[in-house]
């Protein structure tokens, strides 16, 4: 974990992307009637739970990213084909996600698609903060409605699942992370790559 020049920019850009796409997903779920907005918890009673959401998901996201992508990719990169590096990293992430989301084909597909964005962000930038920003942003969006995993009382908003499912509402779990992957792919050039910066500095010095 390195606080390289530009790490804040990487984290901020990714946070906005992750948070934004997940808020769009929740908004569409409200629109199609899959979710119903009930109200907002008393701010006085949820100050500490919401703080726990922000701190808990930051620590959880960072630890997961450091291990599943930072450590795994750095150990395997250059030793095996990059396709296998991606596959192994995403497979580990999917298995880890299974403990929280439960085992189902839908959750596996969702985790694989989401893992593509997280893995791409780290691999292309060499910055763990580009990866963690995405992870943290979408987790915060989730936490506002569902709280910490296993603690729905820490949510800021009160919602309920109506049970009204449509083909579109079911597809949202795939369409949103897939759209985010394409968006990250298109915007990755705006991130700071610390490895490239070091190489460029070395070339400049040698000249």
What one-character DSSP code corresponds to residue 151? Answer: B
Alpha carbon distance 69, 168 (integer Å): 31
d(CA 84, CA 93): 14
Mean pLDDT score across all residues of the chain:
87
Please say whether the beta carbons of 115 and 93 come within 8 A: yes
Give the predicted TM-score (pTM) of the model. 0.87
Please report which confidence band the pLDDT of residue 12 belongs to, taking 50, 70 and 90 as the band edges: very high
The CA angle 79-95-54, to the nearest 5 degrees, is 105
Tens of pLDDT, residues 113-149 = 999 999 999 999 999 999 999 999 999 999 999 988 7
Question: Does the structure show a pLDDT above 90 at 48?
Answer: no
Residue 1 pLDDT greater than 70, yes or no: yes
pLDDT number for residue 2: 82
Per-residue confidence (pLDDT) for residue 95, from 0 to 100: 86
Residues making up the chain, counted from first to last: 207
* Dihedral sign (CA 98, 100, 101, 107): negative
Q: Does 80 score more than 70 pLDDT?
A: yes
Are the C-beta atoms of 173 and 106 separated by less than 8 Å? yes
The predicted model gives 157-169 an average pLDDT of 88
Greatest distance between any 2 Cα atoms in the chain: 65
Tokens at 152, concatenated: 């729905």
């Amino acid at each position: 974990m390195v606080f390289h020049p530009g790490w804040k920019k990487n984290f901020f850009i990714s946070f906005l992307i992750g948070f934004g796409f997940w808020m769009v997903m929740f908004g569409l779920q409200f629109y199609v009637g899959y979710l119903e907005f009930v109200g907002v918890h008393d701010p006085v009673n949820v100050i500490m739970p919401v703080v726990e959401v922000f701190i808990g998901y930051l620590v959880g996201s960072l630890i997961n990213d450091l291990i599943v992508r930072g450590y795994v990719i750095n150990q395997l990169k250059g030793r095996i084909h990059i396709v296998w590096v991606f596959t192994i990293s995403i497979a580990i992430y999917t298995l880890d996600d299974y403990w929280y989301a439960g085992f189902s084909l839908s959750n596996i597909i969702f985790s694989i698609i989401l893992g593509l964005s997280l893995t791409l962000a780290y691999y292309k930038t060499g910055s763990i903060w580009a990866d963690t920003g995405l992870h943290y942003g979408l987790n915060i969006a989730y936490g506002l409605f569902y709280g910490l995993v296993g603690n729905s009382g820490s949510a800021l908003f009160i919602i309920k699942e109506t049970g009204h499912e449509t083909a579109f509402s079911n597809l949202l779990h795939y369409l949103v992370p897939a759209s985010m992957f394409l968006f990250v792919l298109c915007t990755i050039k705006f991130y700071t790559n610390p490895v490239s910066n070091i190489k460029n500095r070395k070339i400049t010095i040698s000249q």
